[in-house]
């Protein structure tokens, strides 16, 4: 591990909670190894160990004993102590705005003074406009159960604030998969090691799920074939045997086209289909609309490519689909996952280990933790209005809202950078009549717009419990060092504010340890009786998911019928198409190029780390990927400064004219902070803030742009 002089010289008191002394007999050192786990919005939830010696962090490394993450931290996190925890940019004290909104000028205040004033302002807003004039805004800045939403949910429910639909990521995919399978948790990601064909569809797991991807590479070493379906030449394509590049947003047509070939050629598993699926005859009739020639015209692929892929998928056993999330961000995002979800049942892929589909792993944790006490006070009143987080800009600027939003509380998120339609979001955040409170570790673009900024602890400084959406391990994160400066856990902010609001309900004041112990007070067989103290020593536990895990080998889907539902009576009753179908992406209009904004940075996780010099240097400046013909048509050559424009905004950067991207498509990496880029705009200045067909996800990837030489 790299140990900077600054950090070596930073003396801190030895943590009282370090759990595993690694002292030799008679050794005078107070060296301790503290277990923890990564909090990022990432499928891998890596386990780590922090070594603290006489109060100094002297080593930070992945836990080599963890069977899934196997001792390796990614490039984002291997330098976490230097990059973030001991960064000179850390917010260490509460601050009050003294400049204009967004200017980033603040003065230091005490926690008491700041909390007193926030409570006073909040009471005044509630008295004048009612509690729904208050909006919380948070997402997966930490995925920990405690610092995520444990007390904030209780606080805002108690207040009666407007509700936030946290649907920016995963919800459209969930809804599409659940329509067919009844769940979005299927194969174990580690079972990709048993696959013989891995079809990575609209995902870049070599970057966004690199520990999970190791299992696919294991399969490849054993002779498996990897095919990537993606309009872009992602990093994952380098590991693949074949790259299929459909037009963005046409994936459902491609999935239905594969099904058409499989059924027409009799390559489907008739026995599995008869026993474990519902609506095959109706599906077969629908597939008549998706003959290869039509699908080729829709997707921009060759007929031969479609037919060959269908045959390979149907005849290679076991075959797995590796989906992730980015592909859902189309107006037809939910339908697209629904079309893909039927493929494994059609070919009987669920019969074998290594066959089926990998998406989330959340459902393994259902019922495992004891949420009885944890959920007290967290049930939202569904009669209270709600706002989809994808549409924050609209919510903050809608003059017809009654009441308008007068107070915004931002924590575990950076909407100025991550929300679509960025210029509208910034316009809302700059409203002088909007009282904004941000809890943060750094002065993000969102924090720059705050009236008060409160310093938050990092994952090395607080207690938390983490499930995972990318594997079946439960992790405990112990604080390795005391909080720097006056940083406090998010929970402490909400306890402090609840007291000042005059609330007295005990559930608003539970300690972090009480909440963790309460969650672990469970007799669920998957937990194997593990106790809090055992978890403090071990750091993580694998849920006792049956081994081998063959969730649908004999049917048993989680749908109402217990079958894989090609035909959904439930969706039909709700007015949706009962069969998987294809809805074309919105027409190009004035802007001819499709823009894909990708989670492809290796040194940022969403916008985390993007405010720090080392990760920014390592990542380099963002580049616009363009096809050579699209660039030539505009007089652009590799490295030229360009402007990417549409009706929502402009972004200034340089072009990367490379082979690999599909003609008619350009792409930009997301994650950069707008204020640190020339022109003050990042990728989300160009993305739309519409919603997907079901599930409430965004339609970012339906963005259309023009590119001009600057
Ligand atoms: S960001 Fe993801 S891959 Fe990196 S350390 Fe965290 S959980 Fe692991």
Structure tokens at 389: 């987080």
Domain that holds residue 164: 95-168+385-473+483-531
Q: Give the domain CATH number at 101.
A: 3.40.50.740
H or E stretch covering 135 = strand 134-138
Contact 434, 408 (CB under 8 A): yes
Nearest CA to ligand 1 atom 4: 74
Nearest CA to ligand 1 atom 5: 73
In a domain, 337, yes or no: yes
Query: Does the Cβ of 253 fall within 6 Å of ligand 1?
Result: no
Question: Which of 36, 41, 42 is the pocket-test mutation for ligand 1 (most atoms within 8 Å of CB)?
Answer: 42
Contact 347, 268 (CB under 8 A): yes
pLDDT score recorded for residue 17: 36
Residues 163 and 189 occupy one common structural domain: no
Contact 644, 624 (CB under 8 A): yes
In a domain, 56, yes or no: no
pLDDT score recorded for residue 30: 80
What share of the chain in percent tops pLDDT 90?
94
Compute the distance from residue 149 Cα to the ligand 1 centre, in Å: 20
Q: Which of these, 425, 479, 605, lies nearest to 35 by C-alpha position?
A: 479
Question: Which of 73, 81, 361, 466 is the pocket-test mutation for ligand 1 (most atoms within 8 Å of CB)?
Answer: 73
CA distance 105 to 31: 40
CA angle 589, 590, 593 (to 5 degrees): 85
Compute the distance from residue 212 Cα to the ligand 1 centre, in Å: 11
The residues that bridge with 667 in the sheet, in sequence order, are 596, 625
In a domain, 123, yes or no: yes
Compute the distance from residue 42 Cα to the ligand 1 centre, in Å: 6
Residues 164 and 231 occupy one common structural domain: no
Tell me how many domains the chain contains: 3
Structure tokens at 174: 């969930």
Residues 644 and 700 occupy one common structural domain: yes
Residues 257 and 147 occupy one common structural domain: no
Contact 338, 359 (CB under 8 A): no
In a domain, 378, yes or no: no
Residues 350 and 229 occupy one common structural domain: yes
Residues 183 and 270 occupy one common structural domain: yes
Query: What pTM did the predictor assign?
Result: 0.94
Compute the distance from residue 37 Cα to the ligand 1 centre, in Å: 9
Nearest CA to ligand 1 atom 8: 46
Residues 300 and 262 occupy one common structural domain: yes
Query: Does the Cβ of 605 fall within 6 Å of ligand 1?
Result: yes
Compute the distance from residue 478 Cα to the ligand 1 centre, in Å: 17
**DSSP state string for 22-61:** -PPTT-----EEEEEE--SSSTT--EEEEEEETTEEEEEE
Torsions phi, psi for 33 (to 5 deg): -115, 120
In a domain, 14, yes or no: no
pLDDT in tens, 97-111: 999 999 999 999 999
pLDDT score recorded for residue 29: 62
Residues 111 and 193 occupy one common structural domain: no
**DSSP state string for 287-321:** HGGG-HHHHHHHH---HHHHHHHHHHHHHSSSEEE
What share of the chain in percent tops pLDDT 70?
96
Question: Which of 76, 204, 603 is the pocket-test mutation for ligand 1 (most atoms within 8 Å of CB)?
Answer: 76
Question: Which of 79, 235, 605 is the pocket-test mutation for ligand 1 (most atoms within 8 Å of CB)?
Answer: 605
Question: Among the atoms of ligand 1, which is closest to the Cα of residue 77?
Answer: 5
CA distance 568 to 578: 5
Question: Among the atoms of ligand 1, which is closest to the Cα of residue 210?
Answer: 3
Residues 306 and 201 occupy one common structural domain: yes
Question: Among the atoms of ligand 1, which is closest to the Cα of residue 69?
Answer: 8
Nearest CA to ligand 1 atom 6: 38
Select from 531, 549, 571 the last residue of a domain.
Answer: 531
Residues 161 and 179 occupy one common structural domain: no
Select from 330, 363, 396 the last residue of a domain.
Answer: 363
pLDDT in tens, 179-215: 999 999 999 999 999 999 999 999 999 999 999 999 9
Query: Does the Cβ of 46 fall within 6 Å of ligand 1?
Result: yes
In a domain, 676, yes or no: yes
Compute the distance from residue 64 Cα to the ligand 1 centre, in Å: 14
Structure tokens at 106: 């603040």
CA distance 528 to 208: 30
Query: Does the Cβ of 42 fall within 6 Å of ligand 1?
Result: yes
Residues 656 and 514 occupy one common structural domain: no
CA distance 705 to 438: 32
Query: Does the Cβ of 73 fall within 6 Å of ligand 1?
Result: yes
Question: Which of 77, 142, 215, 609 is the pocket-test mutation for ligand 1 (most atoms within 8 Å of CB)?
Answer: 77
CA distance 439 to 688: 27
Residues 226 and 317 occupy one common structural domain: yes
Q: Which of these, 589, 599, 685, lies nearest to 328 by C-alpha position?
A: 599
Residues, the chain, total? 710
Q: Give the domain CATH number at 322.
A: 3.40.228.10
How large is the angle between the packed helices 490-500 and 111-129, nearest 10 degrees? 60
Close Cβ partners of 27 (under 8 Å, ≥ 6 residues apart):
none
Q: Which residue numbers in the chain have pLDDT < 70? A: 1-29
Nearest CA to ligand 1 atom 7: 45
CA distance 149 to 281: 45
Nearest CA to ligand 1 atom 3: 74
CA distance 238 to 228: 10
In a domain, 357, yes or no: yes
Per-residue three-class SS string for 596-645:
EEECCCCCCECCECCCCHHHHHHHCCCEEEECHHHHHCCCCCCCCEEEEE
In a domain, 207, yes or no: yes
**Three-state secondary-structure class, residue 326:** helix
Question: Which of 40, 50, 79 is the pocket-test mutation for ligand 1 (most atoms within 8 Å of CB)?
Answer: 40
Q: Give the domain CATH number at 628.
A: 2.40.40.20
């Amino acid at each position: 591990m790299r140990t900077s002089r600054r950090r070596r010289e930073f003396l801190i008191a030895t943590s009282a909670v370090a759990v595993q002394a690694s002292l030799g007999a008679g050794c005078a050192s107070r060296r301790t190894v503290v277990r923890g786990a990564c909090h990022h919005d990432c499928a891998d939830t890596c386990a780590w160990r922090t070594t603290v010696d006489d109060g100094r962090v002297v080593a930070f490394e992945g836990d080599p004993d963890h069977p899934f993450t196997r001792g390796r931290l990614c490039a984002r996190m291997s330098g976490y102590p230097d990059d973030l925890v001991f960064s000179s940019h850390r917010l260490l004290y509460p601050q009050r705005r003294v400049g204009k909104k967004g200017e980033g000028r603040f003065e230091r205040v005490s926690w008491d003074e700041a909390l007193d004033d926030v409570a006073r302002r909040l009471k005044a807003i509630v008295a004048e406009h009612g509690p729904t004039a208050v909006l919380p805004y948070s997402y997966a800045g930490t995925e920990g159960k405690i610092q995520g939403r444990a007390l904030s949910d209780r606080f805002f429910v108690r207040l009666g604030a407007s509700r936030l639909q946290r649907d920016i990521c995963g919800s459209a995919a969930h809804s599409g998969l659940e329509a067919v399978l009844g769940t979005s948790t299927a194969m174990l990601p580690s079972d990709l090691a048993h696959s013989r064909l891995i079809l990575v569809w609209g995902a870049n797991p070599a970057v966004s799920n690199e520990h999970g991807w190791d299992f696919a590479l294991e399969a490849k070493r054993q002779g498996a074939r990897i095919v990537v379906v993606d309009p872009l030449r992602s990093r994952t394509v380098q590991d693949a045997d074949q790259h299929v590049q459909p037009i963005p947003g046409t994936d459902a047509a491609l999935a239905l086209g594969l099904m058409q070939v499989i059924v027409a050629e009799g390559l489907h598993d008739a026995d599995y289909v008869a026993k474990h699926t519902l609506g095959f005859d109706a599906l077969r009739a629908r597939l008549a609309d998706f003959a290869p020639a039509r699908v080729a015209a829709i997707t921009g692929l060759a007929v031969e490519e479609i037919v060959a892929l269908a045959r390979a998928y149907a005849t290679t056993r076991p075959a797995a689909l590796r989906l992730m999330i980015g592909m859902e961000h189309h107006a037809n995002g939910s339908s697209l996952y629904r079309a893909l979800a039927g493929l494994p049942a059609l070919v009987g892929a669920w019969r074998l280990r290594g066959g089926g589909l990998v998406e989330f792993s959340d459902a393994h944790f259902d019922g495992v933790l004891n949420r009885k006490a944890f959920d007290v006070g967290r049930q939202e009143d569904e009669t209270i209005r709600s706002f989809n987080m994808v549409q924050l800009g609209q919510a903050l600027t809608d003059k017809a809202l009654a009441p308008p939003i007068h107070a915004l509380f931002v924590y575990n998120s950076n909407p100025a950078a991550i929300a679509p339609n960025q210029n509208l979001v910034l316009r809302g955040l700059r409203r002088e009549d909007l009282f904004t409170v941000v809890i943060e570790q750094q002065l993000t673009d969102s924090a720059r717009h705050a009236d008060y900024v409160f310093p938050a602890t990092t994952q090395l400084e607080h207690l938390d419990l983490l499930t995972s959406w990318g594997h079946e391990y439960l992790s405990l994160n112990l604080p390795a060092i005391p909080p720097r400066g006056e940083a406090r856990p998010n929970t402490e902010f909400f306890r402090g504010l609840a007291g000042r609001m005059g609330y007295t309900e005990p559930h608003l004041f539970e300690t972090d340890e009480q909440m963790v112990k309460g969650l672990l007070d469970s007799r669920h067989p998957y937990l194997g009786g593990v106790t809090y103290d055992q978890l403090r020593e071990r750091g993580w536990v694998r849920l006792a998911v049956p081994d081998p895990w063959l969730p649908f080998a004999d049917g048993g889907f989680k749908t109402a019928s217990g079958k894989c539902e090609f035909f959904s009576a439930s969706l039909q009753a709700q007015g949706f198409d009962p069969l998987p179908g294809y809805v074309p992406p919105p027409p190009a209009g004035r802007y001819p190029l499709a823009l894909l904004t990708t989670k492809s940075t290796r040194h940022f996780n969403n916008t985390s780390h993007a405010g720090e010099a080392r990760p920014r240097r390592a990542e380099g400046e963002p580049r616009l990927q363009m096809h050579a013909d699209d660039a030539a048509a505009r007089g652009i050559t590799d490295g030229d400064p360009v402007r990417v424009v549409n009706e929502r905004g402009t972004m200034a950067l340089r072009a990367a004219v490379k082979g690999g991207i599909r003609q008619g498509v350009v792409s930009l990496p997301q994650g950069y902070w707008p204020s640190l880029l020339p022109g003050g705009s990042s990728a989300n200045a160009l993305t739309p803030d519409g919603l997907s067909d079901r599930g409430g996800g965004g339609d970012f990837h339906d963005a259309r742009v023009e590119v001009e030489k600057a």
